[in-house]
Amino acid sequence: MRSSAFLYPWDVLGDPDAPARLADLGLDGVTLASAYHSTRALTPRHPRTRIVTAPYAAVYYPAADAHWAGQALRPHPQRWLDSADPWGEAAEQLRAAGLDVASWVVLTHNSRLGGENPDSTVRNAYGDRYPWALCAARPEVVAYCAALAAEAGARPGAVGAELESCGWYGMAHLHAHDKIGGVPLDGAAQYLMSLCFCDVCAAGYAAAGVPGPELAAAVRAALAPVWAGTAGTAGRSGGERAGGEWAGVEALFGKDAAALTLTYRQQRARVLQRACVEAVRAAADPGFRVLLHADPASHRVGANVGVEADWLLAADGGGADGLVLPCTGSTAALDAAPRVPGRTLAANLTAVTGMGGDPSAPVPAGADELRLYHAGLASDADLAVLRARLR
């Protein structure tokens, strides 16, 4: 079984021992961030630094001006690493150590672009903007994501691209210093709080038969018991509760309204996902693989976007080569994903003990490949366990 670990360029740059250390783990390759959101990351083995702060979402290669000509949105370059092409330099060193390198591309999660372009972000039923979440239905966002997937995905020397947040993003996921835990939100409430009512989405709902303002009012009414603390909560504990989670949406919101929003969002997600996959295909050489970080429960939002897996993996549908599925603590996402000949299902396991993972966790049955999060963040003890497993 092929195995790959996630990595940041700064885990390699300035550390001449990093490529050999990673190859010695027994990995086949790494998935190296080429376009990534803001973060603060530990570098426990780097000879010069222990903390890297990436203050905004950026690309880790020189973006081509001609590629972005005429685009309403375009990525920002990184400014915190002393390199004009951090991804390219790190990838070259990793390949020299015998490791395959795939690109890791984050799409609709971008707090800086959202802050600079509020009209392009998710707007909830209360009128609040989510600057960290670009709206997947908007034409300028589809164009941006496709252009970014092509440029950041098909980097020179890459064997494939893994697209994160290639679809609907919503309320969930970290943003600055979060203070949103005062009222626990189960999966149903998370879905309703992630519905978008920007002008494009409001028009989409109207075309489906319900005016946007009317539907937004229905969302607010459905959420009223949640804020009062009187709504029953089914909770969310991985994909095994996807069915119950959707039943919770229907119970809060009504089956007809729930179905209308889901159908609309599935249609818009298809447009975005197909555009991104086709853009990478057009930019890459034959044999280049395109995988999506995904959850087969299509109503879900976040880094592992909810997808219609059968459609996405079909040659006459989304055309993706596979899915990277969250499997830490539960194999429900992997269990629910369809087995399509010629398509890959990769199990993504958190292998960092300090982040709630287990480097000794068994590979889930049914997985074709293994992804390990995250070789740069893991302790020496975690890496020792991984080395024993992989070798």
Instruction: Give the residue-averaged pLDDT of 269-290.
Output: 98
Look over the chain and give the mean of its residue pLDDT values, rounded to a whole number: 95
The residue among 182 and 377 whose pLDDT is bigger is: 377
Distances (CA, A) of 367 to 288, 318, 352: 20, 21, 20
Find the helix packing angle between 199-208 and 255-283, rounded to 10°.
120
- State residue 236's pLDDT score: 42
Q: For the chain, which domains are there?
A: 2-181+263-390 (3.20.20.80)
Q: What is the largest CA-CA distance in the chain?
A: 60
330-372 pLDDT, tens digit per residue, is 999 999 999 999 999 999 999 999 999 999 999 999 999 999 9
Per-residue pLDDT, averaged over 319-330, amounts to: 97
Does residue 240 surpass a pLDDT of 60? Answer: no
- In DSSP notation, 154-218 reads S-TT-SEEEEES-S---S-S--SS----SS---HHHHHHHH---SHHHHHHHHHHTS-HHHHHHH
**SS3 call for 355:** helix
CA 354 to CA 373: how far, in whole Å? 12
Tens of pLDDT, residues 49-89: 999 999 999 999 999 999 999 999 999 999 999 999 999 99
151-181: per-residue pLDDT in tens?
A: 999 999 999 999 999 999 999 877 777 888 8
Predicted confidence band of residue 241 (pLDDT cuts 50, 70, 90): low
At 232 the pLDDT is 59
* Bond into 177 cis (ω within 30): no
pLDDT-based confidence at residue 242 (cuts at 50, 70, 90) = confident
- Report the share of the chain in percent with pLDDT over 90: 93
Q: Which residues pair with 290 in a beta bridge?
A: 161
Phi, psi of 221 (to 5 degrees): -65, -40
Identify the pLDDT of residue 234.
45
The end-to-end CA distance of the chain, in Å, is 12
pLDDT digits (tens, 9 = 90+) for 339-348: 999 999 999 9
Say whether pLDDT at 257 is over 60: yes
Q: Which of 7-11, 151-155, 242-246, 359-363 has the lowest mean pLDDT?
A: 242-246
Instruction: Flag whether pLDDT at 10 surpasses 60.
Output: yes
**Strands in 304-385 per DSSP E:** 305-306, 322-326, 344-350, 369-373
- pLDDT computed for residue 245 by the predictor: 93
